[in-house]
Amino acid sequence: MVARQAAKAVRTAVAALPVDELPEVRLRPPDGSDGEFLAELHASVADDEWDGYDDPPEDQLDGASFGGGAAIVERPDGTRVGSVSWIQVPHGPNRRSLAWCIGITIHPLHRGQHLAASAQRALADDLFSRSDANRVEAETDAGNLAERHALERGGFTEDGVARGANWRRGEWHDMVIYSRLRSDRDADASPE
Ligand SMILES: CC(C)(COP(=O)(O)OP(=O)(O)OC[C@H]1O[C@@H](n2cnc3c(N)ncnc32)[C@H](O)[C@@H]1OP(=O)(O)O)[C@@H](O)C(=O)NCCC(=O)NCCS
């Protein structure tokens, strides 16, 4: 099977937004009250062009398969707007080379308000404070312009393309890799 190639068109990255221009979000562990919201959220991406997977249940993996986790994204008033997840990915045979790879879904009713940018930045900073990892990464289909914008607005930098990395809906897809490093967080925290 030939991988679907990443978009060849030259695309200019958008600038990161300062944290005080991002909407405030809170990340909290899911609890028993979130079942209906999470079911609705998952149903909203079941047929999504970029985030819908049709593998049988036994071939679907969750964060628990990789030493990761998940959180509800909510506004300060407690309105649930989406969820984030994270897993560990190795970049060498040693513990210090473990990075975090994150994922996100924002409920369709709440998109386009920079909530994904804010939540992904908050999650990266939270993972830096809770672990000694140097790198938080995210990968998305080259065509997923909303997610690419959201990552860039949230202070992630494009690293490159992982060819034929993602099996989705009967095809291999090229994925664009983004990262935020601990030094990016530190630089943002202490502007000149
Ligand atoms: C991707 C997703 C998380 C973005 O959430 P969001 O809260 O709407 O994102 P943000 O508001 O932070 O940023 C979206 C940016 O993309 C832009 N955008 C949205 N749709 C777009 C489109 N179709 N084409 C180009 N740009 C688009 C917005 O204008 C905004 O950019 P801006 O800052 O330049 O205005 C959300 O659309 C979603 O949950 N999609 C389904 C799941 C998914 O794809 N998850 C990622 C899988 S890797």
Per-residue DSSP letters for 49-88? TTT-----GGG---GGGTT-EEEEEE-TT--EEEEEEEEE
Q: Which of 80, 106, 174 has most ligand 1 atoms within 8 Å of its beta carbon, as the pocket-test mutant?
A: 106
Give the mean pLDDT of 60-76.
88
Confidence class for position 1, pLDDT limits 50, 70, 90: low
Closest-CA residue to 18 (of 118, 93, 128): 118
List, for residues 140-169, the tens digit of each pLDDT value: 999 999 999 999 999 999 999 999 999 999
More confident residue, 64 or 25: 25
Whether the per-residue pLDDT at 134 is higher than 90: the answer is: yes
Closest-CA residue to 46 (of 113, 108, 120): 108
State in Å: Cα 150 to ligand 1 middle.
6
Q: Pairing between strand 69-74 and 26-28?
A: antiparallel
115 Cβ closer than 6 Å to some ligand 1 atom? yes
Range 169-173, long-range pairs (CB < 8 A, 24+ positions): 169/52, 169/53, 169/54, 170/54, 171/1, 171/3, 171/4, 172/1, 172/2, 172/3, 172/4, 173/3, 173/4, 173/141
In 10 A of CB 31, how many CB atoms? Answer: 8
State in Å: Cα 148 to ligand 1 middle.
7
Residue nearest to atom 41 of ligand 1 (CA): 105
51 Cβ closer than 6 Å to some ligand 1 atom? yes
Contacts of 116 (CB under 8 A, 6+ apart): 82, 104, 106, 146, 147, 150, 154
List, for residues 9-60, the tens digit of each pLDDT value: 568 899 999 999 999 999 999 999 999 999 999 999 999 999 999 999 899 8
Confidence class for position 62, pLDDT limits 50, 70, 90: confident
- Taken in order of first residue, the domains within the chain and their CATH numbers are 20-49+60-189 (3.40.630.30)
List, for residues 79-131, the tens digit of each pLDDT value: 999 999 999 999 999 999 999 999 999 999 999 999 999 999 999 999 999 99
105 Cβ closer than 6 Å to some ligand 1 atom? yes
Give the pLDDT score at 4. Answer: 61
Give the pLDDT score at 5. Answer: 59
State in Å: Cα 105 to ligand 1 middle.
10
Give the pLDDT score at 22. Answer: 97
More confident residue, 64 or 53: 53
Specify the pTM: 0.91
